[in-house]
Amino acid sequence: MTRTIRYPFDAPPDEGTAQEIAPGIFWARMPLPMALDHVNVYALDDGDGWTVFDTGFDTKRTRGAWVKLLAGPLRGKPVTRVIVSHHHPDHIGLAGWFQAGGAELATSRTAWLFARMLTLDDQDRPPPETLAFWRGAGMDPDILAKRAGERPFNFADVVAPLPLGFKRLSEGDVLRAGGRDWDVRLGQGHAPDQITLWSRDCNLVLGADQLLPSISPNLGVYATEPMADPVAEWMDSCARFQSVARPDHLVLPGHKLPFTGLPLRLRQKIDNHHGALARLEDCLSQPRRASECFAPLFKRQITEGTYGLALVEAVAHLNHLERQGRARREMGPDGAWLWRRV
């Protein structure tokens, strides 16, 4: 196993431009209006058209970036297929826009169902179930009051309408794109049934958010499935991918820069969460709400802008400790769950 993670490309392509990673495989970036200010997208040359892997948000700026990209580096050829790695809006946001232009959508069944359901679930205020979940996690009362009176984030705000019909991709499938055959392998934890593609003909891996360098994706629990254990699913996926990962694999991730050294990176991902769980377990020598567990998990200051993501990830790690019999919870007098190590 290599002891080094390497980045063959020093800088990302500018907005509206593309970097050719390998013959017929192009890397571009789409802007995001948040701290993580980009998502990587990839175009695979199929001869008379392009297969696009992930899309970015449905915003005027992102559509403009795609128009510029298609007219320039992608030589005016149409997008004939969109492969969406998972249902999060920065990855599926423009899939429906491409479909309206004649492209086929391919993704996992779970990703399509989640995305279509969420685009139809347009809310003016957080529903009672979400408010109850936040209270149970011990959300700061001021933040809770503020969010209760605001329009929440809706998928429909940044995801184009998804028409009926898609091609399902499943574990073990093989698809042809960019002049190569790709094995479909599904990851779990960050999003259910996330698509990763592993080339049979070269060392390329389209890793989406399942295989990121230098940062870890959010492993969150929400009111939709409050007892979920995405931490176990994440570590199980990392362990499964270790059996096929090679040091020379060039991973094309959903964020940050392409990298090699995947076996080491997978080991880091597993170790990082084991370390976080051990620190969290030590912290639970006294009963604590999920909102009181940020310090041992993240080892940095959590601001209001990242508070929601930190809260759902704290619940995820607490759920994992409970599943393992290392912690238990009981309801506190203020309606928030109190967690304590066993």
- pLDDT for 300: 85
Q: Which residues lie below 8 Å from residue 306, measured CB to CB, with a gap of 6+? A: 35
- pLDDT for 3: 72
Q: Rounded to the nearest 10 degrees, how much is the dihedral formed by the CA atoms of 123, 318, 188, 21?
A: 90
SS3 category, 259: strand
* Radius of gyration in angstroms for the set of CA atoms belonging to the chain, rounded to a whole number: 20
> What pLDDT tens digit does each residue of the chain (342 aa) get?
447 999 999 999 999 999 999 999 999 999 999 989 999 999 999 999 999 999 999 999 999 999 999 999 999 999 999 999 999 999 999 999 999 999 999 999 999 999 999 999 999 999 999 999 999 999 999 999 999 999 999 999 999 999 999 999 999 999 999 999 999 999 999 999 999 999 998 999 999 999 999 999 999 999 999 999 999 999 999 999 999 999 999 999 999 999 999 999 999 999 999 999 999 999 999 999 999 999 999 988 899 889 999 999 999 999 999 999 999 999 999 999 999 999
- pLDDT for 301: 87
CB atoms < 10 A from the CB of 124, how many? 8
Q: Which residue ranges make up each domain of the chain? A: 19-341
Our measurement of the distance from residue 303's CA atom to the centroid of its chain's CA atoms, rounded to an integer in Å, reads: 21
- pLDDT for 111: 98
261: closest CA among 272, 248, 274? 248
Q: Look at the block and give the residue holding tokens 């969460």.
A: 273
Q: What are the angstrom distances between the C-alpha of 18 and each of 94, 127, 142, 287? A: 18, 42, 44, 51
Q: Are 42 and 54 in contact (CB under 8 A)?
A: yes
The yes/no answer on whether domain 19-341 falls in CATH 3.40.190.10 is no
DSSP state of 305: H
- pLDDT for 1: 47
Quote the CA–CA distance of 96 and 58 in Å, as a whole number.
Answer: 9
Buried b (16+ CB within 10 A) or exposed e, 327-336: bebeeeeeeb
